[in-house]
Amino acid sequence: MAQWQKTAYRIEYAYVCHIGKIRNNNEDNFWCCGELLPAQNQGMDHIRSGSVSQKELPLLAVFDGMGGESCGEMASYIAASSCGEYYEQYREEISEDPEQFLKNACIRMNQAVCDYSAENKIRSMGTTAAVLAFAGNQVYGCNLGDSRIYQAEDSQFRRVSRDHVLGGSLFGKSPLTQYVGIPEESMALEPSIVKMEVHPGMRYLLCSDGLTDMLSDGEIADILTRELPVQETVELLLERALKKGGRDNATMVLCEIREPEKTWFHKMLDRMHKRDEGDEK
- How high is the pLDDT of residue 1? 40
- Rounded CA gap, 202 and 96, in Å? 23
- Rounded CA gap, 136 and 198, in Å? 9
Give the full edge-to-edge strand order of the sheet including 48-53: 48-53, 10-18, 250-258, 203-207, 148-153, 156-159
Position 12, amino acid? E
pLDDT in single tens digits along all 281 residues of the chain: 444 455 689 999 999 999 999 999 999 999 999 999 999 999 999 999 999 999 999 999 999 999 866 799 999 999 999 999 999 999 999 999 999 999 999 999 999 999 999 999 998 899 999 999 999 889 999 999 999 999 999 889 999 999 999 876 555 678 999 999 999 887 799 999 999 989 999 999 999 999 999 999 999 999 999 999 999 999 999 999 999 999 999 999 999 999 876 655 555 655 666 666 665 55
CB count in 10 Å sphere of residue 109: 30
Round the CA-based radius of gyration of the chain to a whole number and report it: 20
- How high is the pLDDT of residue 110? 98
For 131, list phi and psi in degrees, rounded to 5: -130, 140
Q: Could you tell me which residues are beta bridge partners of residue 17?
A: 251
- How high is the pLDDT of residue 4? 47
Q: Which helix (H) or strand (E) holds 134?
A: strand 129-135
Q: Which of helix, strand or coil describes residue 224? A: helix
- Rounded CA gap, 211 and 250, in Å? 5
Q: Which of helix, strand or coil describes residue 242? A: helix
Residues whose CB falls within 8 Å of the CB of residue 25, separated by 6 or more in sequence, listed in order = 19, 42, 70, 72, 73
Taking the complete model, does pTM exceed 0.75, yes or no?
A: yes
- Rounded CA gap, 172 and 108, in Å? 30
User: For 46, which DSSP code?
Assistant: S
Checking phi first, is residue 154 left (phi over 0); if not, alpha (psi -120 to 50) or beta? left
Residue ranges of domains in the chain, CATH in brackets: 10-280 (3.60.40.10)
Residues whose CB falls within 8 Å of the CB of residue 120, separated by 6 or more in sequence, listed in order = none
Instruction: Count CA atoms closer than 13 A to 242's CA, side-chain side.
Output: 12
Q: Could you tell me which residues are beta bridge partners of residue 194?
A: 141
